[in-house]
Amino acid sequence: MPSRPYRLSCHCGNIRLEVDADLEDLLECNCSMCRRFGAIHWYVEASAITLLDEKRALSSYVWRAVHEAHQFCGTCGTSLMRTGYPNGVVALNACAIEEIDPFTLGAKRFDGRSKMEPGVLP
Ligand SMILES: [Zn+2]
């Protein structure tokens, strides 16, 4: 089991992050977006995240508003984070923590499918 600070990387290794935060507040969501990419959300302050390699390209998928984005590696497609939360919070993909077994994380479930505000997308 990895320990703090945690290192995250995409599958091809182009994007690597280090996160100095406790591994808590983990959430799975079944909304139209989250169920498709299957990440486990890990909510941390953006200030706790360090890019280990500068000048790397993240691709983003934007919906509803320009500041709400799903960020992923444009080369291998790994989901890395979701942005657009208030107070400088970012939802990292805990499944991208190096050496992690997502089955051991004990993420809670959020019924985004029925509890999220309706949007314009399916
Ligand atoms: Zn990649």
Cα–Cα dist 29/31, whole Å = 6
53 in Cβ contact with 15 (< 8 Å)? yes
Cα–Cα dist 50/36, whole Å = 27
39 CA → ligand 1 middle, Å: 15
73 CA → ligand 1 middle, Å: 5
Class of domain 6-101: mainly beta
Tell me: the pLDDT tens digits for 11-26?
Answer: 999 999 999 999 998 9
pLDDT of 122 higher than 50:
no
7 CA → ligand 1 middle, Å: 14
The structure tokens listed for 71 are 């960020």
90 CA → ligand 1 middle, Å: 19
**What percent of the chain stands above pLDDT 90?**
72
pTM for this prediction: 0.90
Who contacts 49 (Cβ-Cβ below 8 Å, separation ≥6)? Answer: 17, 18, 19, 90, 92
Confidence of residue 90 (pLDDT cuts 50, 70, 90): very high
